[in-house]
Amino acid sequence: MTAPIVPILLLLALTIVLAPLTQASDAGSVPARGIESEQLQSMIQRAEKLGPIHALLVSRDGITLAEHHFAGPGLDAPANIKSLSKTVQSALAGIAIERGLLDGLDQPIISLLGDRLPTDAEPEIASVTVDHLLSMRAGLDSTSGRNYGRWITSEDWVAHALSRPFVDRPGERMQYSTGVWHVLSAILTDHSGQSTLALARSWLGHPLDIRFPAWPQDPSGIYFGGNDMLMSPRDLLTFGELYLKGGRNNGSAVLPQDWVELSWRPRARSPWSGDDYGYGWFITELAGERVYYGRGYGGQLLHVIPNLGIVVVITSRPTPPSAGGSYVSALHDLVATHVIDGARAADARSAARRHSSTSPESMAALRRWASSDERFLRGRHP
């Protein structure tokens, strides 16, 4: 007895229509989502008019959808990421805590400094914790801005940063200061027995297959904490995707399970932008989406947008003069207007396509198609 042809053809048609959804379910993951290509093209055209920009990369669900080199080092060449280094160094601190090199976030730093604690440090230094360094709430006067030159020309960068006068109680307001990150770099070096460069290569470079060329050191050999790290734009994208995936890469944990959430929890507020700050990450809202970003002088930016599965990397000219806050605002607007809106448009288009493919009208069309093919097949194979 011959099986009915119409039901078979109809089933075949449904299988074709629903295949992506079925495959995604079997794999236990959501199919990769896109961003409207017109929006990405417009983004690149707008970016070309921004003089300092060097590179722009966008990925969604782990797939690179746009990458463009405008000037400066290439997409695989090391670039000075300036204070975006703080975001990367925060990951090293989280791993150090998990491995027991540091007792935890509430550990007083005087228990970690040993002979590095200067004799002229103010008494409040006893209340400063690892948490305060990571969130820049140590209360110490900043080594950045007008104090930067005097700090980096000092003989002992760590002692100089710790000898700054207290302008707040530890744990209160954010005082943007690269000095506290350099103190953390010294702590990581002393308690691991390895340089911060070696830790970056071992703890992040090896599992993520990314490169960390040597960057500057202080007079005592401590690698500059919180500034001047060198990473290629593509490696930065990989690092951002690590946070998007909850600290895992290819199924293996690179970061502690809770470190992403801890890093993205607001603990302070920037006195300049008004954005919240966690551990090396700023927190803001763009086009109605929660966005976590690292930022460096001149327009070095790493955006992670978890709700949409998006990572954006932007590198720019790292040398003075800085293009300033208006340039960074323009970069944020590129992300909001073209990346976020483009992702939403692509999602809406995809949802409409899925709806139309399973609507009653579409099903009726499929039945008509199957019926006509049945007559055709029977005509050729009586």
Kindly report which listed range (8-12, 67-71, 97-101, 128-132) carries the lowest average pLDDT score: 8-12
Averaged over 233-249, what is the pLDDT? 98
pLDDT at 202: 98
Averaged over 125-146, what is the pLDDT? 97
Would you put residue 20 in left (φ > 0), alpha (ψ -120 to 50) or beta? Answer: alpha
**Predicted confidence (pLDDT) at residue 9 exceeds the cutoff of 70:** no
| pLDDT tens figures, 264-323 | 999 999 998 999 999 999 999 999 999 999 999 999 999 999 999 999 999 999 999 888
Q: Virtual CA dihedral for 106, 306, 325, 37, nearest 10 degrees?
A: 160
Q: CA 346, CA 337: separation in Å to the nearest integer?
A: 14
CA 283 to chain centre: 11
Name the pTM for this structure: 0.86
Beta pairing partners, 305: 310
Averaged over 75-94, what is the pLDDT? 98
pLDDT at 353: 84
Averaged over 158-163, what is the pLDDT? 98
Q: CA 225, CA 117: separation in Å to the nearest integer?
A: 17
3-class DSSP state of 150 = helix
Confidence grade of residue 357 (pLDDT, cut at 50, 70, 90): low
Averaged over 219-244, what is the pLDDT? 98
Confidence grade of residue 15 (pLDDT, cut at 50, 70, 90): very low
Which residues touch 255 (CB under 8 Å, ≥6 apart)?
Answer: 91, 94, 95, 242, 243, 247, 248
Averaged over 15-35, what is the pLDDT? 48
**Predicted confidence (pLDDT) at residue 129 exceeds the cutoff of 90:** yes
**Predicted confidence (pLDDT) at residue 8 exceeds the cutoff of 50:** no
pLDDT at 324: 84
pLDDT at 358: 57
User: Which structural domains are found in the chain, ordered by start?
Assistant: 36-81+234-345 (3.40.710.10), 82-228 (3.40.710.10)
Averaged over 131-146, what is the pLDDT? 97
pLDDT at 56: 98
| pLDDT tens figures, 174-202 | 999 999 999 999 999 999 999 999 999 99
**Predicted confidence (pLDDT) at residue 363 exceeds the cutoff of 50:** yes
Q: CA 2, CA 38: separation in Å to the nearest integer?
A: 50
User: What's the chain's average pLDDT?
Assistant: 89
Beta pairing partners, 304: 292, 311
Q: CA 91, CA 199: separation in Å to the nearest integer?
A: 11
Averaged over 58-68, what is the pLDDT? 97
pLDDT at 257: 87
pLDDT at 19: 33
Q: Is 183 exposed, middle or buried (0-12, 13-18, 19+ CB in 10 A)?
A: buried
